[in-house]
């Protein structure tokens, strides 16, 4: 862990500062694929952070300098947040959540990679969370337990003597037997008494060991395993606000689970056609509304978001609302459907807005306006001339996540060269920053004209450099498409962002 306060990245709205890094590799050190971070999640308070990696491990971090979130929430409502203390986290524990498996019926290898992590709740000092790989969801309970040790034996330990035999003041040995004419027996018993202690009839009391608890240790225990419910890879899990249920979604189905029942789930969404040749759309992400336990949303590979109401029917084969932006006439190309696929959606804290990320843009939707997003942020506009190259090396299928600040005033997402971008989404805001996930970040800022609802932000296009793996931004810096920042999360109550670059976890605050 390392922390620095002297690295600043000035933006129009916030002064971002580097806070900490965990797991940064040394120069020339090769990163193992199993160590690459694949999931990040803050708990509701922000005092705990969980990460999952491609090796099936879950690592937990705990905040050291916990703050009064009520006071900080007042700061977010309009006061100066620059005086906030640098958030400091420390490693808490880790455990192996999933192991590699093999499905012999389908001849299919099931990776141990953690796809999603969701915190459930904290009660009586214990933490509960859900983690999933492609096929199996597990509920984990992490709590402190006292390590019990045996001590106070009331019998001194055996002590070696000069002749190599064991002696002790409280260790009883057999006295020499007296026999009338049994020299052979006498020698045999004397030999036994010389090598091993043997209880004597002169022991007057029974000595028992004492069991006492000394130090405490964090123990992770799998409470339930939710398996055998998905034929396709699980891409998302989401907790319900009722605290009793959660959903899991794969390419074609969304299942509803009760937290206490692991052997049964209810299929609430099924988009699988009768003939798989007719399949034109798959589910890419699903999430419950933060406060309405009957409402959820899921995104698709065709760039649409469907809102569902569980009060209407048990099987949500219809939707209550469809959020989809209509295509401009004549704008279609070979890549239109590919780059329109939504890789992640997030509800705002109040539930009024939904943030979606497709390959090229971030879009902020008002759930009461289904025809057009209230704001669109161009993230990868500089890649438009290179889409053919990105298609050939499969980079066009990268799944970038997105996140919103707790006050809903800003949004963030990742990009290439281990960059992540922060945009102001309040009306009239032109805040826009490009930050590099590194301990000594290079400032990369791209300013755009002020944005208003329904307006599109723009980024200058970069010059094409053939089919190599690099592009150039307006500052003359190169983009490295082999280094991608896919996963990030915003602290629920503060202006603090944590993001994963390969196997390193970087934290920034403002």
Report the candidate in 368, 334, 331 with the shortest Cα–Cα distance to residue 351. 368
Q: With 0-12 CB in 10 A as exposed, 13-18 as middle and 19+ as buried, what is 303?
A: buried
Domain count, the chain: 1
- Rounded to whole angstroms, the Cα distance separating 351 from 164 reads 77
Q: What is the pLDDT of residue 125?
A: 81
Residue 136 lies in a domain: no
25-67 tens-digit pLDDT: 888 889 999 999 999 999 999 999 999 999 999 999 999 987 6
186 neighbors 114 (Cβ within 8 angstroms): no
User: Greatest CA separation found in the chain?
Assistant: 118
Q: What pLDDT is attached to residue 74?
A: 47
Q: Residues with Cβ < 8 Å from 64, sequence gap 6 or more?
A: 88, 89, 90
User: Would you state the pLDDT for residue 244?
Assistant: 95
Tokens of 136: 């199996």
471 in any annotated domain: yes
Q: pLDDT tens, 284-321?
A: 999 999 999 999 999 999 999 999 999 988 788 888 99
Q: How many residues does the chain have?
A: 510
**Which sign, positive or negative, has the C-alpha torsion 38, 43, 45, 48?**
negative
Q: What does the block give as tokens for 264?
A: 């049964």
CB 361 within 8 A of CB 355: no
Within the chain, which residues score under 50 in pLDDT?
4-11, 69-83, 165, 167-180, 182, 185, 189, 191-193, 201, 445-470, 474-476
Residue in the block written with tokens 């942020």: 377
Write down the pLDDT at residue 216.
79
User: Is 181 within the bounds of a domain?
Assistant: no
Using DSSP, state whether 392 is helix, strand or coil. Answer: helix
190 secondary structure, DSSP code: H
Candidates 308, 280, 279; CA nearest to 294 is 308
Structural domain contains residue 360: yes
How far, in Å, CA of 371 to CA of 352, rounded?
A: 15
Q: What are the φ and ψ backbone dihedral angles of 7, each rounded to 5 degrees?
A: -100, 115
**Ramachandran angles phi, psi of 292, nearest 5°:** -95, 110
User: For residue 5, what pLDDT is reported?
Assistant: 44
Tell me which residue range forms the domain holding 468: 1-30+350-510
């Amino acid at each position: 862990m390392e922390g620095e306060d002297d690295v600043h990245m000035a933006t129009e709205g916030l002064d971002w500062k580097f806070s900490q890094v965990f797991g940064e590799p040394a120069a020339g050190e090769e990163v193992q694929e199993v160590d690459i971070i694949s999931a990040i999640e803050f708990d509701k308070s922000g005092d705990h952070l969980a990460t999952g990696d491609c090796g099936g491990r879950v690592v937990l971090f705990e905040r050291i300098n916990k703050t009064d979130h009520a006071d900080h929430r007042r700061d977010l409502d309009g006061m100066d947040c620059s005086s906030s203390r640098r958030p400091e986290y420390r490693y808490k524990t880790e455990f192996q959540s999933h192991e590699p498996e093999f499905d012999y019926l389908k001849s299919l290898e099931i990776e141990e990679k953690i796809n999603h992590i969701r915190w459930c709740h904290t009660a009586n000092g214990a933490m509960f969370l859900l983690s999933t790989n492609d096929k199996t969801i597990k509920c984990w309970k992490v709590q402190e337990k006292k390590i019990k040790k045996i001590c106070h034996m009331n019998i001194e330990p055996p002590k070696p003597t000069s002749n190599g035999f064991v002696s002790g003041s409280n260790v009883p040995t057999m006295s020499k037997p007296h026999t009338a004419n049994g020299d052979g027996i006498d020698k045999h018993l004397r030999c036994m008494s010389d090598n091993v202690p043997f209880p004597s009839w002169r022991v007057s009391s029974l000595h028992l060991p004492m069991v006492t608890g000394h130090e405490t240790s964090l123990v992770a225990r799998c409470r339930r395993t939710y398996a055998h419910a998905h034929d396709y890879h699980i891409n998302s899990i989401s907790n319900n606000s009722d605290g009793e249920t959660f959903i899991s979604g794969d390419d074609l189905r969304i299942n509803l689970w009760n937290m206490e029942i692991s052997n049964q789930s209810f299929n609430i969404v099924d988009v699988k056609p009768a003939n798989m040749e007719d399949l034109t759309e798959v589910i890419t992400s699903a999430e419950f509304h933060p406060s309405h336990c009957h409402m959820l949303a899921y995104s698709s590979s065709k760039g649409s978001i469907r809102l569902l109401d569980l009060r209407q029917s048990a099987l949500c084969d219809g939707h209550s609302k469809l959020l989809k932006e209509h295509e401009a006439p004549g704008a279609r190309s070979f890549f239109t459907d590919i780059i329109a696929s939504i890789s992640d959606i997030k509800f705002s804290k109040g539930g009024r807005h939904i943030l979606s990320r497709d390959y090229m843009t971030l879009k902020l939707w008002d759930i009461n306006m289904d025809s057009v997003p209230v704001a669109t942020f161009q993230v990868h506009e500089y890649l438009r001339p290179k889409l053919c190259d990105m298609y050939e090396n499969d980079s066009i299928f990268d799944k970038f996540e997105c996140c919103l600040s707790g006050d809903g005033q800003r949004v963030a997402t990742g990009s290439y060269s281990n960059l992540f971008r922060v945009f102001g989404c309040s009306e009239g805001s032109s805040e826009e920053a490009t930050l590099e996930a590194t301990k000594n970040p290079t400032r990369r800022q791209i300013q755009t004209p002020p944005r208003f609802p329904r307006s599109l932000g723009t980024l200058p296009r970069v010059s094409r450099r053939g089919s190599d793996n690099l592009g150039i931004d307006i500052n003359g810096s190169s983009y490295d498409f082999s280094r991608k920042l896919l996963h990030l999360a915003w602290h629920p109550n503060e202006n603090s962002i944590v993001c994963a670059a390969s196997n390193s976890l970087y934290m920034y605050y403002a």
